[in-house]
Amino acid sequence: MMDTDTILAVVSNVIRLKKDTLGVNLLSELRALLTRENPAYHQMKRMSERNPRYRYIKLPPATMTSIEEDEQTVFIPRGFKTVLKQLAADHNQKIEFNDETIYYARDPGMALADHVQLRDYQKKGIGKLIMNREGILVAPCGGGKTVAGIALLSTLKQPTLVLVHTNDLLAQWGAQLAEKALIPGGIGQWCGTKRKRGQVTLATIQTLTRMPPAELVDFLGNFGCVILDEAHHCPADTFFGVMNLCSARFRFGLTATPRRKDSLEFLMTDTIGPVLAEITDDELKLEGVSQNCVVRFIATSTFSRYGADDWNKLLTDLCTDADRNRMIVDTIVGTWNAGHFPLILSERVSHCRLIVDELRKRGMNAHALVGEVPKNVREQIITSAKNNLIDAIVATKVADEGLDIPQLSCVHLITPTSNEAKTQQRIGRIRRPIEGKTSLVIDYIDARNTSLLRMGKSRKTLYRRWGFKLEDGRDL
C-alpha cells in the first residue's frame, strides 16, 4: 500500500475509499475507531456470571464493526464523513470526493403552508441540517420534530422518503403534511398493501425490509432526500440495513432520545450523521410549548423474590398483584375525579386490559391502546380523546412515540423502568401546555424489591435534573 497526498473517495449509499490512497496509519485509525465493544456481550457476560441459568448461553460477538474492506476498497458509513475529513487533515492528506448521491431537479411548488410559522430554534436546527446535508435533529416531545421535518423537505424540494416504524406515526405524518405543506406531486404511502409513490412518500420500515434487495435498491433510487423519524431506532438491523442502502443526497434523522439504553447510538450517528442541532427543554418552556411536571410518589407493598435478571417473572408478579392493581385503580380514579385526563402506561397488554376493565367498573370510559387494537380503532380512540369523549387511556409502548393528545394531563407509570429515554418519552405525552392544566406524574415505587427500588431512585434523579417538584411544591 502506498501513501499519497490525496485520498480518492466515492459517496453514494456509503463512502467507498480507494485503499491504496489511504495512509497506513490513517487506515489503522479508521479500523480502530469503527470497531467498538459490543454492549450486549458485556451484559450477557455479567448475567452468565451472576445467574447459573445463563452460563451456557452463547455470547454475542465481543466487538462490532462498521468498516468493511476488500483488496481495493474500504467501505465506511456515510455519517462518518465529518470524522474522516478530520482524520485526513490530521494525517496531512486531502480527500477528493466523487459525489454519486441521488439528487433531482427542485420542485418549486413544494412549500410550507402560509399559516405555518417556524420558531427560531426550529429555523436554526433546519439550517444546520441543510448546510451539512446529513445529520440528526434532537427535540423533546412537543419540540416540533414533525414540523421541522416538513420544513426540511419543503425547503429542499426533493422527492422525499419519510421512514417510520408504526402505522400511527405514518398517519400522523400524513395528517401533518396535508395541513402544513403544499405538495403538488402528492403524498404517497408504501405501507402494507398500499404501494403508491408521491413527491413525498411515507413508508414503514417493516414494508421496505420485506422487499427483495434489488427491488428495494431500485425503490430507494427514487428519492433525493430521506428522513428517518424516531432515528434512535436506527441501530436495529431493519433500520440500519435500509438506511445503508439509500443513496439520497440528503439524509436526516429526527429523535427526542438520541441516547439508548444499549449504548448503540454510535450506529445511528455512523449511519445518518452527527447530532447537529438540539432543541432543549428550557427553550420549549420559554416558548410556552412545554410545561414542567409535578410528581407524586406512591409506595406499593408488592414483594417479588425475582430480580432484574428474571425480568419477565418479576414483571408478572407486579402485574398480577391484586393489592397493587387495586391501589393503582383507586389512584387513577382519584386523579380523574380531581379533573385530570389520565394516561396509564404498562409494559403488558394483559395488564392494560385488566386496568381498563376495572376502571369501567368504576364508571370511567377507559380504552386500551395496544398493538393488537386495529389501526382504525386506535385512530377513533385518539380522535375521541381529542374531543374529550374519553376519560382515560391505558397503553403499552405504542404510546411512547407519536401519541399527541394535548388534553392528557396525568401519567401513571405502573410498570417500572430506569431507562432515561423511555421515561422522558412517556412523561412527554402530558407536557403539552393548555390553560389551567397541571401536568402530574404518578410514580409507583415498589420499595420491597431491591432492583425496583433502585429503578425508582434512578427516576427520582431524572425528575430532579429536569426541574420537576413534588406535588406540594417541595424539591425532590
Does residue 442 belong to any structural domain of this protein?
Answer: yes
Over residues 263-269, mean pLDDT: 81
Does residue 104 belong to any structural domain of this protein?
Answer: no
Are 118 and 73 found together in one domain? no
Q: Considering only 104-108, 273-277, 297-301, 317-321, which range has the smallest mean pLDDT?
A: 273-277
CA distance 140 to 289: 11
For 405, the grid coordinates are: 393528545
Please report which confidence band the pLDDT of residue 421 belongs to, taking 50, 70 and 90 as the band edges.
confident
Q: Could you list the residue range(s) of the whole structural domain that residue 26 is in?
A: 6-99
Render pLDDT for 26-49 as a digit per residue (tens, 0 to 9): 999 999 999 988 877 777 777 777
Q: What is the mean pLDDT of the chain?
A: 89
Please report which confidence band the pLDDT of residue 464 belongs to, taking 50, 70 and 90 as the band edges.
very high
CA distance 56 to 48: 8
Are 356 and 448 found together in one domain? yes
Render pLDDT for 326-335 as a digit per residue (tens, 0 to 9): 999 999 999 9
Are 66 and 154 found together in one domain? no
Domain final position from 248, 269, 284: 284
Are 269 and 386 found together in one domain? no
CATH of the domain at 374: 3.40.50.300
Are 309 and 448 found together in one domain? yes
Tell whether the model's pLDDT for residue 3 goes beyond 60: no
Question: Do residues 178 and 243 lie in contact, with contact meaning Cβ atoms separated by under 8 Å?
Answer: no
Tell whether the model's pLDDT for residue 238 goes beyond 80: no
448: helix, strand or coil: coil
The alpha-helical segments, DSSP class H, found in 387-438 are 420-428
- Across 38-42, 266-270, 451-455, the highest mean pLDDT is recorded for 451-455
Over residues 257-269, mean pLDDT: 77
Domain final position from 284, 318, 346: 284
pTM of the model: 0.80
Does residue 12 belong to any structural domain of this protein?
Answer: yes
Tell whether the model's pLDDT for residue 2 goes beyond 50: no
H or E segment at 352? Answer: helix 349-361
DSSP secondary structure letter of residue 353: H
Q: What pLDDT, on the 0 to 100 scale, is given for residue 450?
A: 92
Query: How many structural domains are present in the chain?
Result: 3
Are 25 and 43 found together in one domain? yes
Does residue 56 belong to any structural domain of this protein?
Answer: yes
The alpha-helical segments, DSSP class H, found in 97-204 are 120-132, 145-156, 167-180
Query: Residues of the chain with pLDDT > 90: what percent?
Result: 63
Please report which confidence band the pLDDT of residue 400 belongs to, taking 50, 70 and 90 as the band edges.
low
Render pLDDT for 269-301 as a digit per residue (tens, 0 to 9): 888 989 998 888 888 887 777 888 999 999 999
Over residues 199-223, mean pLDDT: 94
Are 341 and 436 found together in one domain? yes
Position 126, amino acid = I
Q: What pLDDT, on the 0 to 100 scale, is given for residue 433?
A: 85
Are 311 and 419 found together in one domain? yes
Does residue 1 belong to any structural domain of this protein?
Answer: no
Q: Decide which of 141 and 110 is more confident.
A: 110
Tell whether the model's pLDDT for residue 315 goes beyond 70: yes
What angle, rounded to 10 degrees, do the helices at 24-33 and 81-90 form?
Answer: 140
Over residues 357-371, mean pLDDT: 94
Are 311 and 340 found together in one domain? yes
Please report which confidence band the pLDDT of residue 401 belongs to, taking 50, 70 and 90 as the band edges.
low
Are 202 and 295 found together in one domain? no
Q: What pLDDT, on the 0 to 100 scale, is given for residue 41?
A: 72
Domain final position from 284, 299, 329: 284
Does residue 475 belong to any structural domain of this protein?
Answer: no
Question: Do residues 369 and 161 lie in contact, with contact meaning Cβ atoms separated by under 8 Å?
Answer: no
Please report which confidence band the pLDDT of residue 262 belongs to, taking 50, 70 and 90 as the band edges.
low
Q: What pLDDT, on the 0 to 100 scale, is given for residue 115?
A: 94
Question: Do residues 297 and 440 lie in contact, with contact meaning Cβ atoms separated by under 8 Å?
Answer: no
Are 79 and 129 found together in one domain? no
CATH of the domain at 16: 3.30.780.20
Q: What pLDDT, on the 0 to 100 scale, is given for residue 19?
A: 94
Please report which confidence band the pLDDT of residue 76 belongs to, taking 50, 70 and 90 as the band edges.
very high
Does residue 106 belong to any structural domain of this protein?
Answer: no
Render pLDDT for 153-181 as a digit per residue (tens, 0 to 9): 999 999 999 999 888 889 889 999 999 99
Q: Considering only 9-18, 26-35, 186-195, 417-426, which range has the smallest mean pLDDT?
A: 417-426
Does residue 476 belong to any structural domain of this protein?
Answer: no
Are 353 and 404 found together in one domain? yes
